[in-house]
Amino acid sequence: MSDDVRAPVRDDATGRPRSGGAAPGPVESQTEEALLALTGEQQSSGPLLEVRDLITHFTLGSGTVRAVDGVSFSLSRGKTLGVVGESGSGKTVLSRSVMGILTASNVVRRGQVIYDGRDLSRLTPKELRPYWGREMAMVFQDPMTSLNPVVKIGRQLTEGLTQSLKMSRSEAKELAVAGLRSVGIPSPERRFNEYPHQLSGGMRQRVGIAIALAMGPKLLFADEPTTALDVTVQAQILDLLEEQQRERFMGMVLVTHDLGVVATRADEIIVMYAGQVVEKAPTAKLFASVRMPYTEALLESIPKLHEPSHTRLRAIGGRPPDLMHPPSACRFSPRCPYVRDKCRTDPPPLIEDTPGHSYRCWFPVDVRVTAPTRAGQATGASSGASTGASTGAVKA
């Protein structure tokens, strides 16, 4: 097999698997046939993914943790949805709940997950198994813990290909090596026989991406894919994900705590706080008019390139609420600098201000910022915000 062989990707027009090279080799042909047998010829005309009022709670002896509380969104093929929030806001639980990989007996899951026109929320874990890897996959947050430290990279890459696609070991190895090459791993034949601890952090994350993409999924969840990586490697990983998404025409959910990351890479952003969506809008519209004080606080915490070195970062005061006993009204009210009496007594609904732009606040701010660019971070703000720092004015 030639070096041009790549992991299976899907045709931009039809959505069906196709070869990455000019002509498919035997491994690619077998992979395409297996994927076609699974996905069939029909393609839904609606969104690739639609989540409706998803609730995910964990029942413990001391009470119920409301990790995800009524989240709704949709995602089309070829688009990226950014999910932003602090640690503990429910981002990772949301992604895993949508995939259906939270299978513990204490998990309470309600709502609908419509994938490519099919309701996955009614399926058991056994019935969901054919979708994992083939239709949807996840790049996990920490490759040092998501990769098995005592199993060689090659075996972790080929396991799904041999068990799910029924490929021979030799064919799976050729496709796995091609997959490593496609994500920028040098000397992929040698790395195939190495253990995770022999690779750098950036290379381990590239292996994690190769594993997630091995069977050509149409939907990819990237859960904080740049955690614990240095800045230059972070940019390389994000560029790689964007390149792979474009080639394969995948839908992607990019989970991060950094609004600066999704500002340049997401088509739409949802901001989560304490298990709820507190603001949702297309990326350009969100930065054109930030309405939720929590979103404003996240923006203010981004370092600004124009500020002098060692400028003190603007932290969000207080701490996220206990999701076992969240505030009965606005969940951000104990930390909000603009809080009023109504915020402490009445829970705000998710209000659609303009088409496509929703927020959860009784007294929204009005902040306009220059969206961060890949060369730097937010450099300007207006309408109640000083240059380089969003300090928007509260509307009555």
Residue 135: what pLDDT?
Answer: 95
The amino acid at residue 26 is P
CB of 364 closer than 8 Å to CB of 285: no
CB of 11 closer than 8 Å to CB of 216: no
CB of 350 closer than 8 Å to CB of 281: no
Round to the nearest angstrom and report the end-to-end CA distance of the chain: 67
Map 186-236 to HEC letters.
CCHHHHCCCCHHHCCHHHHHHHHHHHHHCCCCCEEEEECCCCCCCHHHHHH
Phi first, then psi: what are they for 299, rounded to 5°? -65, -40
**Consecutive H or E run containing 23:** none
Instruction: Please give the structure tokens belonging to residue 252.
Output: 């992607």
CA distances to 139, 157, 345 from 152, rounded to whole Å, are 18, 9, 56
Q: CA-CA distance, 250 to 48, in Å (whole number)?
A: 9
Question: What region, left, alpha or beta, does residue 318 occupy, with left being phi > 0 and alpha being psi -120 to 50 degrees?
Answer: left
User: Which residues, including other chains, have CB under 8 Å from residue 386's CB and lie 6 or more apart?
Assistant: none
Q: How much helix, strand and coil, in percent to the nearest 5, is found in the chain?
A: 30, 25, 45
Instruction: Please give the structure tokens belonging to residue 302.
Output: 């981004």
Q: Return the domain boundaries, the chain.
A: 290-394
Residue 65: what pLDDT?
Answer: 97
| 376 SS3 class | strand
CB of 338 closer than 8 Å to CB of 293: yes
Which residues partner with 10 through β-bridges?
17
pLDDT tens-place string over residues 116-168: 999 999 999 899 999 999 999 999 988 888 899 999 999 999 998 998 888 99
Residue 371: what pLDDT?
Answer: 61
Q: CA-CA distance, 229 to 254, in Å (whole number)?
A: 16
Q: CA-CA distance, 366 to 142, in Å (whole number)?
A: 36
Average pLDDT across each block of 10 residues of the chain; the chain has 396 residues. List them in order. Answer: 40 41 40 40 70 97 96 96 95 96 93 96 92 94 87 94 91 94 93 95 92 94 87 89 93 93 94 98 94 94 84 90 95 96 96 94 85 50 35 42
- Secondary structure (DSSP) of 300-336: HTS--TTSPTTPPP-PPSS-PPPTTS--SS-TTTTT-
Phi first, then psi: what are they for 386, rounded to 5°? -75, 160
Residue 388: what pLDDT?
Answer: 36
Residue 45: what pLDDT?
Answer: 61
Instruction: Please give the structure tokens belonging to residue 187.
Output: 């000397």
pLDDT tens-place string over residues 59-99: 999 999 999 999 999 999 999 999 999 999 999 999 999 99
User: Buried b / exposed e across 128-150, counting CB within 10 Å, b at 16+?
Assistant: beebbbbbbbbbbbbbeebbeee
Indicate the pTM of the whole model.
Answer: 0.82
